Amino acid sequence: MAMRQRKLGTDGPSVGAIGLGCMSFAGAYGKIDEAQAHRTLAAALDLGVTHLDTAQLYGNGVSESYIGSFIKDHPNRFSIATKGGIVTGPQRRFDNTEAYLRESLEGSLKRLGVDHVDLYYIHRRQQDIPIEDVMGTLVKFKQEGKIGGIGLSEIAPYTLRRAAAVHPVMAVQNEYSLWTRLPELGLLQACADLGTTFVAFSSVGRGVFSNRMPVIDDLPDNDFRRSNPRFAEPNYALNKAIVSRFNDFANSQNMSPATMANAWVLQKGEHIIAIPGTGSPEHLAENAAAADVVLTEAQLAEIDRLLPVGFAYGDRYSEGQSVGPERYC
């Protein structure tokens, strides 16, 4: 099945406008085994979802291993991005040194069963290493043929500009959705100016833009949302009351809330792709449907009325979760 395509960077591959975020494969939102991950990846092929986004961090390689075991029998069907630069363990820290990034990349390639990925991100910046030096390391990886393009995650516009002065940045990945609008304050614009694709993660608000809004008491103890301010009371009840009106509107327009939420993201710029995460073929189908939707001016106006900028109660991250993402504006 063909899907509307968008390019990664100016000279990277064309990929489906909706990709698949694979953090869910590592159990961040409930346990998923390899068979379930493979069913989701098979559905992606059927739906025209061609871009997979994973990371060394996701389950300490579990997500990458699940992808690797699938693509062994389905080679050259996906464009794959992965990420490195976070040291896991009791004292989690960021390490952007060449030695650690090289070790991380080699591990990712081994788990994926490939000798090259189309896109490699710095998952989080180590602030005491100049971004120019980090870019130098990534340029080496590209020259060695190990990566096709350079990516940066959760960064500010000023970091992108410094990085792009060294070498073109293929993609920047930050959270962006109807309830997380920070990228509109300069990052979307900087990406467009520099020929960098903006990759929106959590584009369905970690499941809130859905007919199956999360029930917090039913979530696994290790679910990310249990410690997230927007899902803590009283914030969550207030958010649900607002978001449910959007969800009802989406249904009244003959599309699921997830489809409408992703379509809204895509419509904010031709240089944007979305990578909503899921381990469910059914949810993936709702996400993928957004690639074929063009919202009308009337629909966009109603969305703005129902979900005005800044409507969400609670920050997008707790204090513990917010270590690493760069702040701006």
- 249-267 average pLDDT score: 98
pLDDT of residue 231: 95
* pLDDT bracket for residue 90 (50, 70, 90): confident
Which tokens go with 88?
């896991």
Residues with catalytic roles? 58
pLDDT of residue 30: 75
Helix pair 34-47, 281-288: axis angle to 10 deg: 30
Percent of the chain with pLDDT over 70: 100
pLDDT of residue 28: 74
pLDDT of residue 318: 87
pLDDT of residue 88: 84
Query: Which has the minimum average pLDDT: 1-10, 153-162, 171-180, 297-306?
Result: 1-10
Give the number of C-alpha atoms closer than 13 A to the C-alpha of residue 7, restricted to the C-beta side. Answer: 11
What CA–CA distance (Å, rounded) separates 81 from 24?
15
* pLDDT bracket for residue 301 (50, 70, 90): very high
What CA–CA distance (Å, rounded) separates 127 from 96?
9
Domains of the chain: 5-213+265-281 (3.20.20.100)
Q: What is the pTM of this model?
A: 0.96
pLDDT tens-digit map of 262-287: 999 999 999 999 999 999 999 999 99
Report whether pLDDT(76) > 90.
yes
Report whether pLDDT(319) > 90.
no
pLDDT tens-digit map of 26-71: 877 778 899 999 999 999 999 999 999 999 999 999 999 999 999 9
